[in-house]
Amino acid sequence: MSQLRRAPRRQVDGVLLFDKPTGMTSNAALQKARWLFNAAKAGHTGTLDPMATGLLPLCFGEATKFAGALLDANKSYRATLKLGVTTDTADADGNALLTRPVVVDTEMWRVALNDFRGEIQQIPPMYSALKRDGRPLYEYARAGVELERQARPVTIHRLELVSFSGDEAVIEVDCSKGTYVRTLAADLGEKLGCGAHLIALRRTRIGDLNVTDSLSLAQLEALPPEARDTRLAPVDALLKTLPAAQLTAAEAERITHGQALCWQGKGEGAQWRLYAPQGQFLGLGELSADGWLKPRRLLTFDPTLTVPHFDKVCGT
């Protein structure tokens, strides 16, 4: 009996705002979504721990060219802390190290939270993907090796206590890139004098992307295949915080053929979203110090088009 063959992978372009469930790795989420869309090419914008849930933007096709745009973006989380117990991973996946009584009141919370707002120094955890001599730190940690790590500056833009009862607390965090929320939970526990570890984490925002606009795996699976593409955000959805450059037809043609544009006096910003006169997104440009807007990463275009020559002397 012959088996039914799946249709060949197809070109799919866009961004899926995916609400990752707990227990699923970011790569497993990516491969599942790619299978559901039968997409030829896919990538994610940075990992989310298996224990964590929430916003995980997944890129398809041409959108993969801009997947790195969110790595530097601010992020928001809702985290649940278990007080009184510290673990070797600073979360519920680790082994308990120390148990202490929880004697904490609202004033202690106020003082502790205030100490962690703004720019702080944070020591990355051993159970992390940061590398030392080409190996991720978690490999050393699993082998029982503890390495000295340099503290790194991170910024906590907002840190609020949502609820606190007994030995559990819920906090909300707006933070810069590179912030480890489980490390923040452990450090808060030490400040409170009882220790703590993370038992739940939900990412609610990356840049201007919000989890409220995302689809869960169940919602995605329930959609008929022909309707899934309609739930993709456009290719430029990851770049909305960058200034936009509306080009003339001649400028668009030059940019798509790899030529720079004289951009003096037309605004500030190192990177720009580039658009054709009809509103078509062309890609990403970078503004040099001497006023040239240069193509940095473009969508794929027809290479047979011709482009007029021009003299690259900005201001003449």
Write phi, then psi, for 65 (nearest 5 degrees).
Answer: -65, -20
Number of Cβ within a 10 Å radius of residue 255: 24
Of 49, 91, 187, 236, which is the active-site residue?
Answer: 49
DSSP 89-154: TSBTTS-EEEE------HHHHHHHHHHTSEEEEEPPPSSSS-EETTEEHHHHHHTT-------EEE
- Alpha-carbon distance of 279 to 249, in angstroms, equals 11
Q: Which residues contact 309 (CB under 8 A, 6 or more apart)?
A: none
Indicate if 49 belongs to the active site.
yes
Helix axes 106-115, 181-192, angle to 10 degrees: 130
Write phi, then psi, for 124 (nearest 5 degrees).
Answer: -60, 145
The residues that are catalytic are 49
